[in-house]
Amino acid sequence: MKPFYLVAVFLFCGLFSFSQTYNTDVEDIINDVNLDSLTYYLRNLSGEDPVVVNGQTTTIEHRVSNWGNDLAAEYIYETMQGFGYEVTMQDYAANGKNVYAVKEGSLYPDDYYMICAHYDAVDYYCADDNASGTTAVLEAARIFKDLDFEYSIVFALWDEEEIGLIGSYYYANDANNNDQSILGVINMDMISWDGDGDNEFEIHTSFTSNSDDLADYVVQINNIYNLPLEPSIENPGTTASDHASFWSNNFAAILLIEEYYGGDFNPYYHTELDRISILDMEYFHNMSKLSIGTLASLAMPDNTISVEERFANSSLELNCYPNPSNGKTNISVMLKEEGNLKVSLLNSMGQKVKHICDDYQLQGENNFEFNTSELIPGIYLLVASSTKGNATFKLLVQ
Ligand SMILES: [Zn+2]
């Protein structure tokens, strides 16, 4: 599979260059993913070490929902609360509790990227399945707590995955009914077993919404930030984890997992022998870096200048109509000074889907026309840049 991805990545690189997605802030975030921190949460969640919950020292002996796993839910709740988030305990059924926290975006507060994992289990310990994914979500929440992002982020931990994706389906269905704009979901389930030490892992995807673009985006992040992992894209991917709840509700979603189809799957899966001692912590560290780096890149770190400053300093104004659009669309760019102007349309993954202008333009109003009828419906970002500034415009294609 590997040669195919090299070709795909070089092709992408040649056409659009990596500058769209490379970001020093993202690199810093990837470097902040800490192995000691990951080990700490993994040991706590898989019952190796005592934890303090509700002021009491105790041990999370198991996370099996039918045996009662409220202690694990409480631990996750208090850990995220400790980072300063307002956390929601979503009691959707007598035995079912999702736990999630939201970080509001500075520029697009109503558009969400999500990182998630199921915390429930089928036996004692179950470190790889899925204390590993749960730990990576907590590590993301820890690192992101003092940073700002343009898009809103949901850190979510699901209950009752093991008995039919119940918790995640409840959330995804509710989000769909409420027209919540979830642009992409990264689900992690079993990300710490690499028995043959080849660093291979799988991205399970589908053609639902732009899940396949999201999978490609993960491959790019792995390459741009020089992570040692070897991705393989599986399409159609498995529906045996929580990302499938988002597919059923028409959201873009992917699963990151060790070699599930590839033949190097954890042989201690769903037994009490699935403990931290059998895991590859360096592989787990890299898988966590990749998923957290992808989330950071999608949500766009915004710790340079404020949104107000950005618009006040801009030497150009960008408008687009009609919005929403489903055919001929007009763009107007007002330039305060003549100069080279670039205008392009990006999809919600930040990939360029249309080149509109790259030419010398005069001072004043410049008009362009393009057609959106062949585009997949969804949210797009129109980006204009001149030598003196830039502007973005969010366009809804129907
Ligand atoms: Zn699992």
DSSP string, 97-117: EEEEEEE--SSEEEEEEEEEE
pLDDT of residue 179: 96
As given in the structure block, the two tokens for residue 44 are: 């706590």
CA of 162 to the centre of ligand 1 (A): 7
Q: Domain boundaries in the chain?
A: 2-299, 307-397
* Domain covering 307-397, topology: Immunoglobulin-like (2.60.40)
Cis preceding-peptide flag for 130 (omega within 30 of 0) = yes
Q: What is the mean pLDDT of each run of 10 residues along the chain (398 residues)?
A: 41 37 88 97 98 96 96 98 97 95 95 98 97 98 95 97 97 97 97 97 96 94 95 97 98 97 93 97 98 95 53 71 86 86 85 87 88 87 82 83
Contacts of 277 (CB under 8 A, 6+ apart): none
CA of 217 to the centre of ligand 1 (A): 23
C-alpha of residue 4 to centroid of ligand 1, in Å: 29
In this prediction, residue 131 carries a pLDDT of 98
In the reported structure, the alpha carbon of residue 161 is separated from the centroid of ligand 1 by a whole-number distance in angstroms of 7
pLDDT value at residue 303: 58
pLDDT, position 307: 40
Say how many Å lie between the CA of residue 141 and the centre of ligand 1: 20
Q: What is the pLDDT of residue 338?
A: 85
Distance 151 CA to ligand 1 centre (A): 28
Ligand 1 centroid vs 239 CA: distance in angstroms?
A: 12
Q: Is the bond leading into 231 cis (omega within 30 degrees of zero)?
A: no
Find out whether 92 and 167 touch, Cβ atoms under 8 Å: yes
DSSP 112-163: EEEEEEE--BSSB--IIIIIHHHHHHHHHHHHHTT--BSEEEEEEEES-STT
- Phi-psi group of 195: left, alpha or beta (phi > 0 → left; psi -120 to 50 → alpha; rest → beta): alpha
HSE, CB side, 13 Å, CA atoms: give it for residue 139: 34
Q: Supply φ then ψ for residue 20, to 5 degrees.
A: -60, -35
Q: Quick one: CATH architecture of 2-299? A: 3-Layer(aba) Sandwich (3.40)
How close is the Cα of 32 to the center of ligand 1, in Å? 26
Rounded-to-integer distance, Cα 335 and Cα 325, Å: 24
Q: What is the DSSP string of 213-273?
A: HHHHHHHHHHHHTT---EEEEESSPP-SSTHHHHHHTT--EEEEESSTTTT---TTTTSTT
Please give the distance, rounded to the nearest whole angstrom, from the Cα atom of residue 189 to the centre of ligand 1.
5
Cα of 121 to ligand 1 centre, how many Å? 7
CA of 84 to the centre of ligand 1 (A): 28
Per DSSP bridges, beta strands 96-103 and 151-158 are: antiparallel
Distance 245 CA to ligand 1 centre (A): 14
